[in-house]
Amino acid sequence: MNQKKKIALSGGGYCLYAPRFPRFQDTPGFADEVLLASASLPALFVLSFIEKGRPLTMHCRSTTLDRGKATLTYDDGAGLKVTEKRFISQDDRFACELELHNSGKADREVTVVMWTTTDPDGEPVSLEGDSFRIRRAIKGTDNVEVPTDIYYSSPDSKGARCLQGFFCEGGSDRPDYEETPWFEMELLPTPRAKRPMEKPSPIVAGSRVYCGLFRPIALKAGGKAAHRFEAYVMFKGKGINFRSRRPDPKDENGWNGFWDKVPKFHCDWKDLERVVRHRFELLCLLRTPHGAGNFSSAGVCEGNGPFHQPVAFSAPAIMREARWLHDPTLARGCLKLFFENVLHNGQAPGRVFISSLANDFYHADWGGGFESLDAMHPDRATKKAVLMSMQRYVKWLANNRDPEGSGLTDIVNHFEAGQEFSRRYTVIDDKADRAHEFIEQFRLKGVDVSIFRYRMVKWLYKVADEIQEKAMANRFQAEIEVIQDTIRRKMWDEKAGLFMDLDPDNRRKTNVKAAVGFYPLGTDIPNPKMVERMLDTLSDRKEFWTKFPVPSLSISDPYYDPTGRWKGTRKNCPWNGRVWPMINSHILEGLTYWAERGNKKAQKLAGDLLKKTVTMMSGELEGTTDTNSFEHYHPETGLGSRYRGVNLYLHSFMLDNIFRIAGGFAIRYGEIQDDPILAEQPDFKLLGMPLGNKVYDVERKNGRLKFAVQ
């Protein structure tokens, strides 16, 4: 299976079809991995075509994606043609709409069988006459249970009949009808009455339950028939009983509702145009509504596979992507989702699940995300809604990650900064890379996390001052001065030309040159002399300026490995030399900050880095126009981490970088300002850009920027 041809479908609910390693996506139905909130199933259902008791071999001839639906065409080589429209609705229905066409000269009778397997544990499968139901608490990420109620049916008309279910030993995970217990039977059996299946005793370990329904379809010569098959996913369990409202049939998968509120971008730089489109597609695929369990607000998941849940590490970056939508609900929801679920001690949860909150924690750039969101969609109500929770979080950071009051922030395990497997940590504790849980193992004063805290406190000072919380604002102001001064004095390394982590035991710099040492560029902490040294280090081909920069660890570091290997083993999330888009976004933001202030070298590096990053994401390096968004990339070849299978991943704010640098305009003081970064800005049109309660058309032509209210 060529991963470049992967299908991804979503309806904006809690479910996603984006298999990491698809094997059977050319099989009718959903025969590959599906995600039900944070839980995954290896397959949801298969559609098989039976004639005279034997399965037909259907050949997939074409696959197209249009308006959030996959259309696949099949034929059996003997006159039967089938068109399948596969999609997920807004209310989490996995739907397959079939059109069967008998192009032969003889009448035919074909039976469509919708079938699946499940484990024999938990509540018995309910056989319901013309449908069946599976209720399970499925274990998802970190063994968090997702209570699901899946109702399988063919709802468009009467005629479907439930198959008798069977407990069976053996079998594979292939979508082959020949493995089902009904294949050997002369007639398809049906249950005698509506009732749950009775469990046999004993049940052998590794057994499975086969269940399904069928619909006979008579096709005259030249005749056609159309039928729909669907699996409706609801979430029901302890404390959760969620069933979303049925969507408008004219926009069942929410495609029109989403894309009507997306700005239209056209540019002479076509790779850039495709990347912008893809970033909005990611928001479309990974968005979630509010209402189920802990999802008190709408939000956006971090990615597909194990990342299909809102994650604090990426949430601020996603806020900055989603702020370009007309409707700020998703962007604000990314903020509210975490600070409406703050723990009793003030800690913000690392991840939010439907049925629980993860007992972990991620440092995140909440201040940068919130400030960027407010610049485009200012809202006092949102500020008031989250300010008290964010104040509690700042206090928790001070008490738990800076107990001595140094002004610098601690990292206590190699997960919570989102950058595991790096010499940043093993230089402090040589067993740091062996941790498997989010528990305290060491203490490291981190550059990146100290900058995140600084930006958050600085922004909250402005918020508190704006809404007349003077005492709170004064406390934040005092904290700003301490953090700023300490980072500048204690973390700067003149010889290396960047900021470094500190070992809190001896108060010495670790001498590890990590790319996060450039994060202060995006703030007022470094002075102009420091900035020049940082730009020299960044552009040094022996340090960080690879063919496709910026590697997470300096080339000169003994643990640097561009292939993602850590101590001889290729890791899923290595931070010892791979290029991570999140790092690039922060560095691009820092280069922009100083380019705005007239630094010519920062302007040139910003343009070069953006161009190389877009090249990595545009598909050009693989000879395709299919854009991508992988977790990390090779710093010399620019190829992404396909081995992870995670090709939908949001943890950078590329839209901000693109519109600011390639667009050459800034959003300041509630208005659009022409502020070119590049020597030659490309011509573009951005139609429908939101700002406050207005929508603008922004255009650059022959170097001149024009904008007008729609």
pLDDT digits (tens, 9 = 90+) for 330-373: 999 999 999 999 999 999 999 999 998 888 999 999 999 999 99
Share of the chain above pLDDT 90, in %: 93
pLDDT in tens, 143-202: 899 999 999 999 988 899 999 999 999 889 999 999 999 999 999 999 988 999 988 888
Selection from 502, 521, 664 nearest residue 584 by Cα: 521
Environment class of residue 494 by beta-carbon count within 10 Å: exposed (0-12), middle (13-18) or buried (19+)? exposed
Sign of the torsion formed by the C-alpha atoms of 216, 219, 220 and 223 = positive
pLDDT band for position 273 (cuts 50, 70, 90): very high
Three-state secondary structure of 545-608: CCCCCCECECCCCCCCCCCCEECCEECCCCCCCCECHHHHHHHHHHHHHHHCCCCHHHHHHHHH
117: which strand partners?
A: 210
Cβ neighbours for 467, distance < 8 A, ≥ 6 positions apart? 380, 383, 384, 387
Q: What does the DSSP 8-state code read for residue 579?
A: B
Confidence check: pLDDT of 318 > 90: yes
CB atoms within 10 A of CB 244: 20
Q: In sequence order, which residues have a C-beta less than 8 Å from that of residue 79 and are 6 or more positions away?
A: 102, 103, 104, 105, 108
47 DSSP β-pair partners: 114
Q: Give me the residue spans of the domains in the chain.
A: 8-251, 263-709
Check residue 239 and give its pLDDT: 81
Q: What is the pTM of this model?
A: 0.96
pLDDT of residue 304: 97
Pairwise CA distance, residues 30 & 230, whole Å: 10
Residue listed under structure tokens 């944070």: 38
Q: Which two tokens stand for residue 43?
A: 């397959």
Residue 416 near residue 362, CB atoms below 8 Å: yes
Query: b/e string for 395-419 if b means 16 or more Cβ within 10 A?
Result: ebbbebbbeeebbbbbbbbbbbbbb
Average pLDDT over residues 664-693: 96
Q: How far apart are CA 260 and CA 278, in angstroms?
A: 16
Q: What is the pLDDT at residue 359? A: 82
pLDDT at site 4? 58
Residue with tokens 């934040």: 476
Looking at residue 358, its pLDDT comes to 83
- At the topology level of CATH, where does 8-251 sit? Beta-galactosidase; Chain A, domain 5 (2.70.98)
For 386-432, what is each residue's pLDDT tens digit? 999 999 999 999 999 999 999 999 999 999 999 999 999 999 999 99
Q: How is domain 263-709 classified at the CATH fold level?
A: Glycosyltransferase (1.50.10)
Q: Output the pLDDT for position 3.
A: 56
Q: Determine the pLDDT at residue 468.
A: 87
Question: What integer is the mean pLDDT of 36-60?
Answer: 97
Q: With CA atoms as reference, report the closest residue to 113 among 53, 49, 32.
A: 49
Structure tokens at 17: 């079809």
Go through the chain and tell me how many residues it has. Answer: 710
Residue-wise pLDDT tens digits, 212-261: 999 999 999 999 999 999 999 999 988 899 988 899 999 999 999 999 99
Tens of pLDDT, residue by residue over 554-587, are 999 999 999 999 999 999 999 999 999 999 999 9
Q: Looking at the DSSP assignment, which residues form a beta bridge with residue 32? A: none
Q: Which residue has the tokens 């951005």?
A: 686
pLDDT at 2: 53
| pLDDT of 1 strictly over 70 | no
CA gyration radius, the chain: 27
Average pLDDT, the chain: 95
Contact 619, 629 (CB under 8 A): no
What DSSP state is assigned to residue 301?
-
**Cβ within 8 Å of residue 342, ≥6 positions away:** 348, 349, 389, 392, 393
DSSP 644: G
List CB contacts of 185: < 8 A, sequence separation 6 or more: none
Q: For tokens 């080339």, name the residue.
A: 555
- The pLDDT, as a whole number, for residue 19 is 97
Instruction: For residue 630, give Cα distances in angstroms to 2, 434, 486, 616.
Output: 16, 25, 35, 10
Q: Which of 678, 662, 673 is nearest to 696 (CA)?
A: 673
What is the predicted pLDDT for the residue at 233? 97
